[in-house]
A and B are shown apart, each in its own frame.
Chain A
Amino acid sequence: MSWSLNEIEGLARKATRGAGLSWGLAEDAGRATRWLCAMGLPAADELANVLTEIDGVAYTEIAPQSFDNPWRAPGGTLCPLVAGACLTDMAGALADGEPITLGRTAHPLLLYPYLAAAADMTGTSLALEWDGTTITRADATSFLDSDGPDTPVTEKVRAGIAGAPTGRPARRAWRGEISADTAQILQGLAHRTYAPETEQSRLAGAGAGLTDND
């Protein structure tokens, strides 16, 4: 089904929160998913996969232990939503020419919106590379040199100053196609953020009790 980008962002934010990450990380995950969908990439599928994997896992297991290269997660695999936010937070270092390497990371494609944000914030061309895939952000344009960037897991990712962009510039998409399966996973996680209705909330929550039929 065709989803608006606003719907995708909202669903991604709530699903990320529902899977246990903080609201601030969930806000960034919503924007990242929207942004990647607007490149025509399968961001919602990637998000559904990563959230299924981290569901119930403690933050400290999936976050970088420190900012020393290479970043590693105590639990073994970095979550791209957490590591991605860290990449944006380290934009200054990246722009200063200090590359960052990540050890084992799930769904590295999801790192890209965060890296692109770092590039745009600092006005620097930055690239993300793993397993022969390179995505470059230069002058507010993304260049992708792979047809299948949705790698489930990789042992090494490098982020740093970009060389000359390779591959094709990304097209701008205005909608996202989300499969029924992916939507079901994300909606299930998002549903955890909704409070079950009680008699009290039904009566008081919206300030009902006064008719509006006159």
Chain B
Amino acid sequence: MTTPIPPRDPRTVMRLARMGSLHQCRLSFMRTLLRRLQSQHWRFETQAFEIDAKGVGHAVYTAHGPDHSYSLVAFAHDLPPDMRSDRVIATAWDATFTLFDGVPTKTDIARLRDNVPKQEAGRVSDRELSLSRANRSVRLWDHVVDSLAAGHQPDEAKVRDVGYLMRTTAVYGSGKFGAADREQSAHRDECRGPFQVEMLSVYLTRAFVMDLVEHVARMRAPDTAVPLDPALRRKFGIGNSTGLGMAPFLMTHPVLINHWMAAREEAIARVRSLPSATQDEADAFRAYAARARLHAEDWSSDHPVQIAKLADLRSDMAHLAGHLDTADLTGNQPWNRLWRWAEDNCSLEGQEQVASLLLEPYGDLVDGLSSCMYANEQEVMRIDGAMPVSDLRALTRDIYAWALAIDWDQRDSQARVWYVSEAKLEPRVGERFEEPIEPYEQPLCPGRDAARMYADLRDFPDGPVAGFLLKHPEHRHVVRRAQVAGQFPYAEIRDNTIDAGMMPIDLLRAKLSFFGACHFDPRSDRWLRINMFQHAPYPAELASGNADDWTYPYLRKAAE
């Protein structure tokens, strides 16, 4: 008899340094999507591809599911190089997209052509489920077009260095800029899981971009151009640049974040609890560990923080390989023993890589948890006004012990301010003591706010919380957070989100790892680049391809 292992303590998991070291896993949303598309035999067709020699025009890629069809409507533009900025602050792009609910008519296309290229400055309707745009990676795009036009394949090393031909710079979903709200489609099986609509749009975008590069090469040199070799083609993902716009999400959707983290933690606990493993499962884990090591080798970044983390990760993966040479992975709760080894021997990067790897051989045991990763947030965010003040006090001490221990009078403890800029209506982080931004502070510092709330709560007469809230409306948002975190253990980040040393990229990485992103490449402490769907089969290959086992590069031996 072995004892089941409980999920990890939120006080361990919900720290920014660890959240900023998360890796994709079987429950990541890209993988959930491709498993579904394959198992339900989705059909894909290119309904239109009307693009001229300069690369200007539109295309429509439709995915047909069992009950609904979804169409990526892509507009390709001829963007002058001086207008090519990947940032959300740009106003023109190489390509713009929307995911249309169904199959668009000519009238729909005309309407979308007037709006989608303008992005935030345009307006879409409740027939559209997402809005996005992408720019070329100039360094790779020109090389690939030149090579294909000249009749040969591009240089594999250059492909590996960049990893994609276009980078999306924003993928707007639920209700943004007039698009349909999530609840309008959330009752459909394929839309219920988080970000499935957005991931489908990105997956089809990757297919479009690859068709586009081949098309441009063919238009330039019809007599000599060749298509990309299919194996090399799969080495292209689709890039993304992500910044602060995404960061508040982790604090403004505590229940959803809980469900994501709780699903992954439950999956890890289930595998760790297994009393034994078969030789096949042990061999599978060893193969995944070797592939994850290749992934770590292929991953590059110029950011000093990530350079150091990558050095740690590579060393961890080498250390793991050595350990796996001799470790018994079959008896005596082998995965729990391996996890304990990782905790004792690896950096946070390595630990979280091992945690994600543990799930790989156990799809049957863990994949079903992906159905627990969505939330109806309207209902669960209500305050329980009948809770006794004494209970709220105890709850606050439990959830926010770390925050009550911080000296909030120290400048560094609240050096930062989250605010929204007037110019771009985007979330920003500023310096409280250097910029005139404090009056505009957003409620994105739960730790400090909990400490303030506790100071007023300490001497408040006993009675229902309703009375405390009537007297202290300024604490209402954090009373809600405390109550939510009391019900949902992973709802709250257990770290100071306004500390002088806080790095927003930790928040971004946590979210993006759940999307299934790889190759996190911070460009500063507040924005980063990633690669998505690299090595995944294309829509036309999906029926017979490897819909799930593509996230780590294949071992060279196996690929040959």
Contact = CB atoms under 8 A, between A and B. Distances in A.
Interface of A: 2-7, 21-25, 27-28, 31, 34-35, 59, 63-64, 66-67, 82, 85-86, 88-93, 117, 120-121, 174-175, 191, 193-198, 200-202, 204-214
B175 A6 contact: yes
Given A6-B176, A174-B181, A212-B87, A88 B525 contact: no
Contact of A90 (B126, B385, B478): B385
Given A85-B469, A88-B382, A206 B477 contact: no
Given A63-B470, A194-B420, A206 B86 contact: no
A25 B420 CA distance: 19
Interface stretch (B222-230, B397-405, B436-444, B537-545): B436-444
Contact of B523 (A2, A67, A117, A207): A207
Contacts of B426: 206
B383 A89 contact: yes
Given A24-B478, A206-B426, A117 B181 contact: no
Contacts, number: 180
Given A193-B440, A213-B85, A90 B466 contact: yes
Contacts of B473: 21-22, 24-25, 59, 63, 82, 85
Given A194-B420, A194-B421, A213-B138, A23 B434 contact: no
A207 B527 CA distance: 7
Given A67-B467, A174-B184, A24 B475 contact: yes
Interface in B159-198: 167, 174-176, 178-184
B470 A86 contact: yes
B241 interface: yes
Q: Could you say which of A67, A175, A194, A205 has the most chain B C-beta atoms within 10 Å of its C-beta?
A: A205
Nearest to A120: B379
Contacts of A212: 85-87, 167, 241, 523, 529
Given A85-B469, A201-B421, 15 more contacts: A23-B442, A27-B476, A85-B383, A85-B476, A86-B470, A89-B466, A91-B386, A174-B184, A175-B126, A197-B422, A206-B424, A206-B426, A212-B86, A213-B81, A214-B139
Contacts of A4: 126, 174-176, 178-181
Contacts of A117: 382
B476 A2 contact: no
A204 B527 CA distance: 11
A24 B477 contact: yes
B523 A31 contact: no
B524 A210 contact: yes
B526 interface: yes
Interface string B86-100: 111100000000000
15 contacts: A4-B178, A23-B443, A85-B469, A86-B469, A121-B382, A175-B126, A194-B421, A195-B430, A196-B422, A200-B430, A200-B435, A206-B87, A206-B89, A206-B243, A213-B138
A82 B87 CA distance: 40
Nearest to B81: A213
Nearest to A65: B470
Contacts of A209: 524
A151 B544 CA distance: 63
A195 B241 contact: no
B378 interface: yes
A66 B467 CA distance: 8
A2 B126 contact: yes
Interface string B118-141: 000000011000000001011100
